[in-house]
Amino acid sequence: MRIVLLGPPGAGKGTQAKKIADRYGIVHISTGDLFRDNIKNKTPLGQKAKAYMDAGNLVPDELVIALVEDRISKDDCQDGYLLDGFPRTVAQASALSEYNEKVGKPLDCALSIEVPEDKLVSRIVGRRVCPNCGASFHIKFNPPKQDGICDRCGEKLVQRKDDTEATVKNRLDVYNKETAPLIDFYRCKGVLKAVDGDQDVDIVTADIFKALD
């Protein structure tokens, strides 16, 4: 199964992506996580991406498209993948469609997680993430079993650098301008499914499985 996950910053893409990937046995590819790994490892790509990310702006299309096409061409993606945080512009979506057409492996679904904008800021500012396995928690809405420690791998949780109130506002503006048009893009292609992301994490997961099964 080949899926793209749509939704504004804080919608729960990362939270749900891990569960979807486990259930359907597909690879979870988060462009945000790939860039954060590159920044941590001080690669040339990471150095190029860092300033954009810290400010909550998009990394230029050509860098992201090359990164994703390279990743989905790998062996472990041949039976499917879940893209989280890509595409984010019409140019990225068009490039992905062209690539998928070329290799004869079209998308099965674009799944949009819908959450009202006024809920997103508190979700993001309270988020804590695992620098080791990428799991995402929230100090109030989705706390780890042990304070400050990842449930999945035991690593100490951290706050993302772009998870400040000022940066979040810019990320939401960028989402509304650049990424929200993709909902119509995929609706026109007949692959759009939407779920209500403003419910308990487990209920959102159940709704997603219902939509995908």
| 212 Cβ contact list (under 8 Å, min separation 6) | 1, 3, 20, 24, 109, 111, 193
Minimum distance between the CB of residue 103 and Mg ion, rounded to whole angstroms?
26
| Residue 13 annotated in active site | yes
Q: Are 107 and 37 in contact (CB under 8 A)?
A: no
Verify binding: residue 112, ligand AP5, rule CB under 6 A: no
Tokens of 128: 């804590």
Contact by Cβ (8 Å): 13, 7? yes
Query: Which segment (12-20, 21-29, 148-156, 180-188) binds ligand AP5 by CB under 6 A?
Result: 12-20
Q: How far is the CB of 32 from ligand AP5 (least distance, A)?
A: 2
Could you say whether residue 204 binds ligand AP5 (CB under 6 A)?
yes
Please say if 127 is a catalytic residue.
Answer: yes
Given 2, 18, 127, 128, the catalytic residue: 127
Q: Which residue has the tokens 């809920």?
A: 119
How many angstroms separate the CA atoms of 192 and 181, rounded? Answer: 12
Q: Which residues 30-49 are close enough to bind ligand AP5 by CB under 6 A?
A: 31-32, 35
For residue 106, whether the previous peptide bond is cis, meaning omega lies within 30 degrees of 0, is: no
Asked if residue 46 lies in contact with residue 38, where contact means CB atoms within 8 angstroms, the answer is yes
14 contributes a contact to Mg ion by CB under 5 A: yes
Residue from 19, 71, 160, 187 carrying the catalytic annotation: 160
Which partner in Mg ion, ligand AP5, none is near 179 (CB below 5 to 8 A by kind)?
A: none
142 binds ligand AP5, rule: CB under 6 A: yes
- Which window, 2-10, 38-46, 98-106, 186-194, contacts ligand AP5 (CB under 6 A)? 2-10
Q: Secondary structure of 87-152 in the HEC alphabet?
A: CCCHHHHHHHHHHHHHHCCCCCEEEEEECCHHHHHHHHHCEEECCCCCCEEECCCECCCCCCECCC
Q: According to the binding rule CB under 6 A, does residue 85 interact with ligand AP5? A: yes
* Contact status, residue 4 vs residue 110, Cβ threshold 8 Å: yes
Confirm whether 171 is a catalytic residue: yes
Tell me which residues are annotated as active site.
Answer: 13, 88, 127, 160, 171
The binding site for Mg ion (CB under 5 A) comprises 13-14
The binding site for ligand AP5 (CB under 6 A) comprises 7, 9-15, 31-32, 35, 52-53, 56-59, 64, 85-86, 88, 92, 123-124, 126-127, 136-138, 141-142, 162, 171, 197, 199-201, 204
